[in-house]
Structure 1
Amino acid sequence: MKNKKVLGSIALVASAALALTACGNNKNNSSSNNAVKDKFPKAVPTKTAKNGGTLRYAIETDTPFKGIFEPTLLTDAIDDTVSQFGSESLFHQDNSYNIDNKGAATFDLNTKAKTITIRIKKGVRWSDGKPVVAKDVEYPYEIIASPKSGSSRYTDSLQDIVGLKEFHDGKAKTISGIEMPKGENGDTVVLHFKQMHPGMNMIGSGYFWKEASPYHYLKDIPMNKLESSDQVRKKPLFFGPYKIDKIVRGQSITWSPNKYYYKGKPHISKITESVISSNSSAQAIKSHKFDVIDVVNSQWQQVKGTKGYNYVANTPLSYSYLGFKVGKWDSKKSTNVMNKNAKMNNKSLRQAIAYAMNVDQAYQKYTQGLTFRVPTLVPKAFGKYSDTDIKGYSYNLKKANQLLDKAGYKKKGTYRVQPNGKPLTIYLAAVSGTSTQESIVQNYIQQWKKIGLNVKLTTGRLIEFNSFHDKVQNDAPNIDMFMAAWSLAGEPSQNNLYGKNAPFNFTRFVTDRNTQLINDMDGKKALNDNYRKKVLWEWQKYMFDQAYVVPLTNSYSITAVNSKLTGYTTATDAPSNMWQQVAFTK
């Protein structure tokens, strides 16, 4: 189970093979498609555990991992996966994504007082033996709010903590709304809010941070050097079940038990993580090279008969999407600025592009339906908040052509021109990956050609993951649209993904209507659940109509687990760090 830290609900991933992260704690692997229960179990069989053994874990990526091990600075799902053996949230969730008190800290929300009180449990220690204290809970907010740190986590949602904006703007040296009543070395932190919001009791809420950072270990590092420091890159501390022994940068990590782990010593003696290309996944499974390895859906038919593994799966709380660049991020004002004259700022053009995509047919062909089209930006896993009346952009070339004709995109030869008569070339950014990824992207380019649109790949080819992330995040000029994905946290607020001041709003669209709907879904009136549902449905209809972001797919996430292992589960309410219970069997 991947332990994604997503503040509110984010994770930039690489389309077709879901892979970029961002917010809260995303142990929210939810079975939103009931068929997954019939195809695969959620957990391996329970057997008698023994201590010892070396577990080999595959990191499937076609590029070296960055190796950023500080949650406030981490932005992609690969690093998040890499750090899962040691990294742990302060909180645990139940099977409805609500925070309970089974984690490293307890949680007490007081709506009347506008506070959240966090108490660290006795015995919770960093892997160097130092206790996790109140300052470790407070310090992440300083990192996030410091303009010098480079953190992408500062959002409108967090600004509801009293004094955080003043600290961010340099008007205060401390964050007045974060109280440590027993001192910096105590066990208690009280967060004071300007206003309370629905969903603040849920693990995916973006209104407060769910991780701790080792202040004693990081305090002497200047904020502008934190991300590149050895303490973050080479010798990070964790309070989870395992600690890092060795890092071969971008390629492999060796872990051993954290003897200070508050829930007791884990079973396995050694864990080795190694990078493997997604194209090599099937062969690695058939040769039993790893004890735990994700299955590439397009390779399922090749590996499904391989013995010696239990195959577990779920439908993650995530989706891939096509985003259209219509503006820029203003770092000085920490806001998205939309350009009304942007090439892609034409609703008919965006809708036509979406209708021309044969998503159902492509994924049926390449994954036998293990990856499937999703119609709306609020997945079914969110239950009543997901508007099932929205059918999405199903394949319809006739409608796509009609939209373009009516909007004035006339054909001149093979391709259409802009309404002003100028040539139209659209540059698409997509991540490199399996051969299937390349085939699917090229398929879409051919589909767009059928409606007269000249679509070319940014840089002329699919882009390596880290470079893709940098280009999309920094609004590279040669990207008109891009294929990526979100790994979501367990709370349906859209503020951290699509808000006016959300750094992760990579399309940079900003409209008064969108801002109003987001404010309404998170406002005081939305404490009434029926009202919140109504607003979320309105927002989904609005986003479907505007098509700044078009949802594409979700997938079964299948993992091959050595049949000699027990304790591995994909359940929503699994332990705060599942790896504490994973063991080889007697």
Structure 2
Amino acid sequence: MKTKFLKRKFIAPLSGVGLSLLLIGISSNDTHAQEHQVYNFEDFQKTVSNVGDAEQGGILNVAYASDTPFLGTLNYNMFGGVPDSTVIGYFDEPVLTTSADQIYTNDGALNFEINEDDNTVTFTMREGVYWHDGHEADIHDYIAAYYLIGHEDYTGPRGGTPGFTLLKGFSEYSTGDADEISGIEVIDDYTAVFSYEELAPSLISGGFWQYIFAEHYYEGIEVADMFEADETRINPIGIGPFQVTNIVPGESVTFERFDDYWRGEPKLDGINYNVVSPATVANGMANGDYDIARGFPAEQYKDVADTEGVEWLANLTSSYSYVAFKLGEWDEDADEVAYKPEEMKMGDVNLRRAMWHAVDTASVGERFYDGLRWRADSLILPYHEAFHNENLEVPQYDPEAANAILDEAGYEYDGDFRTTPDGEELKINFASMSGGDIAEPMANYFIQSWRAIGLDVSLTNNRLLEFNTFFDLVETDSEDIDVYMTAWTLGADVDPTIFFGRDAGWNYPRFATEEGDALLREFNVPEAMDVDYRVNAAYEWQEYMAEEIPVFPTLYSASITPVNERVMNYSVEFGFNDDTALYNIGVSE
């Protein structure tokens, strides 16, 4: 899924703040840099101190720090951004839970049993799980999600992971060659058997679809209209511990306790959820206006670390920021990436490699984020510890090397900037998102770093882009974007196919090669059920991407979450834990 950064008017790259941040902290001899406080997320707690059996009652006030409204596609089967999924998480939940190491467990509303002899999986829905409109959920709701995502009029980004592609008959259904998914057999109202072409390791770590779909609730609505329907945007329902009572589109949501929640009666009476400007969220926490601030700007922590009555939680995130290069476009007819490096400004890997050498991401993490984000080298994160190659050889910060690469590749100077090897003008459009105090100086830093090696780089439309505008341009392969900077939040599965597969809608760089396809397949061949085999596949893919550079990672990150001391049982730990599940969170006096 996309991680939303956060519309400020663009100031020319040589503005004082941008230039000063470019210069300070880069040299190890800088006295100011030596005194700069750098934090480590591992020094923070992951669970509040106030734990125990919470009493019934109370309202939890949640702030989501963002300069942009949530889109309002409030259904797990349709949403496309983290702000929407954050809202959904308060009234709906996955039916499959995960362990701390991102493997599916049977603690959720749906259980599964794998039969390796015939490549089948039996899914069983628990009885007594209710939708907020009073209908009991059953196995048909789980199956309905597959039929929705596979439908020819479905416009969402899902359907390209092994849980769908390996399911027998799913491809035929999604292309319109079949009316049913042959690999799904209903046994009774609570049980179904799914037959797969093969059992891949991704299935148990993100491959099986985790959500159900209230088909009865959307009765009479065409699939093409579901994304904009009131049932999605105004009156969404789920099976979670709280139900929606009011939505101010893009701004706030009010929830009340759902007494028929299947795990038990929630502790809280309700939750008030508000989108709050990153510039004011810290004051709101200090004043007691909010109990929790989701998406808190890490760069603000140093200034408010001693806020009275607030505990600070932190953990490694499954997110990374990156710079990407447009290398093709989406082929609507073939429904896949059309990789065309020879037609794109950024098609030369030498140019991409030089641009990676030109940026000092280690200093960016320290100076902009005080160490709570740090240099990233690989597209497989430390979050997936066993698969992350911490010794991957990648371009390091070295402007001299960058200049040498460009010189050798024929990018010669014609005045202040370099031309293409064919002697043509090279103007590079760089898209970056608005949001928070550092969005502008951060973008300026990258632009100045690339201009320092002779590349004429300017912001797309001469300004930072609001989130929704940004992704509209990226998704439609706008000619106004040659390079862009954003971030991804990953799921439980280490398999990167959902972002880099040939038929992956989220493959925004539009990079797809036969060798890359083959390396991605190695994540899910039967042999990859062996962990060592899959680790080797991950290492080979990381090395390949570091050579081809369709994107390069910039920063890994930690989430920093301020929590009022009155909040009980709140945690940012990985994996499902019933003690700190949403229905057990409470507030004390």
**Secondary structure of 1:201's aligned partner:** helix
**Secondary structure of 1:87's aligned partner:** coil
How far does the alpha carbon of each residue in 1:260-298 deviate from its partner, in whole angstroms, 9 at most, with x for none?
Answer: 210111111121111111222222223222111143111
**Secondary structure of 1:514's aligned partner:** helix
The two structures have a TM-score, normalised by structure 1, of 0.92
| Superposed displacement of residue 160, structure 1 | 1.4
Change (3 A) 1:129 1:197: same
| Superposed displacement of residue 358, structure 1 | 1.6
Counterpart residue number, 1:145? 150
**Secondary structure of 2:201's aligned partner:** coil
Q: Tell me which of 78, 100, 103 is aligned to 1:95.
A: 100
Asked whether the equivalents of residues 85 and 240 of structure 1 are also in contact (C-alpha less than 8 Å), the reply is yes
Asked whether the equivalents of residues 51 and 583 of structure 1 are also in contact (C-alpha less than 8 Å), the reply is yes
Counterpart residue number, 1:31? none
Change (3 A) 1:44 1:146: farther
**Secondary structure of 2:202's aligned partner:** coil
Counterpart residue number, 1:179? 185
Asked whether the equivalents of residues 357 and 448 of structure 1 are also in contact (C-alpha less than 8 Å), the reply is yes
| Superposed displacement of residue 538, structure 1 | 0.9
Matched, 1:160 2:166: yes
Tell me, in whole angstroms, the C-alpha distance in 2 between the residues paired with 1:178 and 1:105. 16
1:311-390 aligned within 5 A: 311-341=312-342, 342-390=344-392
Tell me, in whole angstroms, the C-alpha distance in 2 between the residues paired with 1:524 and 1:188. 26
Counterpart residue number, 1:220? 220
Q: Tell me which of 136, 141, 146 is aligned to 1:136.
A: 141
| Superposed displacement of residue 391, structure 1 | 4.7
Letter in 1 for 2:586: A
How far does the alpha carbon of each residue in 1:457-512 deviate from its partner, in whole angstroms, 9 at most, with x for none?
Answer: 11111110111122112211211111111111122111111111111111000111
| Superposed displacement of residue 394, structure 1 | 2.6
Counterpart residue number, 1:210? 210
Asked whether the equivalents of residues 97 and 105 of structure 2 are also in contact (C-alpha less than 8 Å), the reply is yes
Asked whether the equivalents of residues 315 and 555 of structure 1 are also in contact (C-alpha less than 8 Å), the reply is yes
**Structure 1: any 5+ residue segments left out of the alignment?**
1-9, 16-33
Tell me, in whole angstroms, the C-alpha distance in 2 between the residues paired with 1:326 and 1:77. 26
Counterpart residue number, 2:23? none
| Superposed displacement of residue 328, structure 1 | 0.8
Q: Tell me which of 204, 208, 216 is aligned to 1:201.
A: 204
**Secondary structure of 2:227's aligned partner:** coil
1:32-431 aligned within 5 A: 35-155=40-160, 157=162, 158-182=164-188, 186-202=189-205, 204-205=206-207, 208-294=208-294, 295-341=296-342, 342-431=344-433
Letter in 2 for 1:126: W
Counterpart residue number, 2:521? 519
Tell me, in whole angstroms, the C-alpha distance in 1 between the residues paired with 2:161 and 2:53. 48
Letter in 1 for 2:71: K
Counterpart residue number, 2:504? 502
How far does the alpha carbon of each residue in 1:193-215 deviate from its partner, in whole angstroms, 9 at most, with x for none?
Answer: 1112123222x23xx31100101
Letter in 2 for 1:66: L
| Superposed displacement of residue 12, structure 1 | 4.2
Tell me, in whole angstroms, the C-alpha distance in 1 between the residues paired with 2:320 and 2:470. 18
Tell me, in whole angstroms, the C-alpha distance in 2 between the residues paired with 1:47 and 1:194. 46
Counterpart residue number, 2:16? none
How far does the alpha carbon of each residue in 1:170-200 deviate from its partner, in whole angstroms, 9 at most, with x for none?
Answer: 1111111112111xxx011221111121232
Letter in 1 for 2:213: S
Tell me, in whole angstroms, the C-alpha distance in 2 between the residues paired with 1:511 and 1:318. 25
Asked whether the equivalents of residues 47 and 585 of structure 1 are also in contact (C-alpha less than 8 Å), the reply is no
Asked whether the equivalents of residues 41 and 372 of structure 2 are also in contact (C-alpha less than 8 Å), the reply is no
Change (3 A) 1:40 1:567: closer
What CA RMSD, in Å, does the superposition of the two structures yield over aligned residues?
1.6
Counterpart residue number, 2:473? 471
Change (3 A) 1:301 1:357: same
Between 1:124-133 and 1:390-399, the stretch displaced more is: 390-399
**Secondary structure of 1:316's aligned partner:** strand
Change (3 A) 1:434 1:44: same
Matched, 1:440 2:431: no
| Superposed displacement of residue 45, structure 1 | 3.0
How far does the alpha carbon of each residue in 1:391-444 deviate from its partner, in whole angstroms, 9 at most, with x for none?
Answer: 543311011111111111111111100111111111111111112111111011
Tell me, in whole angstroms, the C-alpha distance in 1 between the residues paired with 2:183 and 2:383. 34
Tell me, in whole angstroms, the C-alpha distance in 2 between the residues paired with 1:525 and 1:11. 31
Letter in 1 for 2:182: S
Letter in 1 for 2:103: N
Matched, 1:542 2:544: yes
Between 1:524-533 and 1:162-171, the stretch displaced more is: 524-533
Letter in 2 for 1:196: L
Asked whether the equivalents of residues 241 and 265 of structure 2 are also in contact (C-alpha less than 8 Å), the reply is yes
Asked whether the equivalents of residues 127 and 259 of structure 1 are also in contact (C-alpha less than 8 Å), the reply is no
Letter in 2 for 1:464: E
Counterpart residue number, 1:3? none
**Structure 2: any 5+ residue segments left out of the alignment?**
7-38
**Secondary structure of 2:507's aligned partner:** coil
Between 1:425-434 and 1:379-388, the stretch displaced more is: 379-388
Tell me, in whole angstroms, the C-alpha distance in 2 between the residues paired with 1:251 and 1:483. 26
**Secondary structure of 1:263's aligned partner:** coil
Letter in 2 for 1:372: W
Aligned residues, how many?
553
Tell me, in whole angstroms, the C-alpha distance in 2 between the residues paired with 1:549 and 1:83. 30
Q: Tell me which of 2, 25, 38 is aligned to 1:11.
A: 2
Asked whether the equivalents of residues 327 and 346 of structure 2 are also in contact (C-alpha less than 8 Å), the reply is yes
How far does the alpha carbon of each residue in 1:202-246 deviate from its partner, in whole angstroms, 9 at most, with x for none?
Answer: 2x23xx311001011113210111111111111111001000000
**Secondary structure of 1:278's aligned partner:** coil
How far does the alpha carbon of each residue in 1:38-85 deviate from its partner, in whole angstroms, 9 at most, with x for none?
Answer: 233444431441211111111222111111112121000110112211
Asked whether the equivalents of residues 46 and 571 of structure 2 are also in contact (C-alpha less than 8 Å), the reply is no
Matched, 1:579 2:585: no
| Superposed displacement of residue 530, structure 1 | 1.7
Tell me, in whole angstroms, the C-alpha distance in 2 between the residues paired with 1:321 and 1:419. 26
Asked whether the equivalents of residues 149 and 227 of structure 1 are also in contact (C-alpha less than 8 Å), the reply is no
Counterpart residue number, 2:10? none
Tell me, in whole angstroms, the C-alpha distance in 1 between the residues paired with 2:523 and 2:154. 30
**Secondary structure of 1:199's aligned partner:** helix
| Superposed displacement of residue 575, structure 1 | 3.7
**Secondary structure of 1:138's aligned partner:** helix
Between 1:419-428 and 1:518-527, the stretch displaced more is: 518-527
Between 1:379-388 and 1:574-583, the stretch displaced more is: 574-583
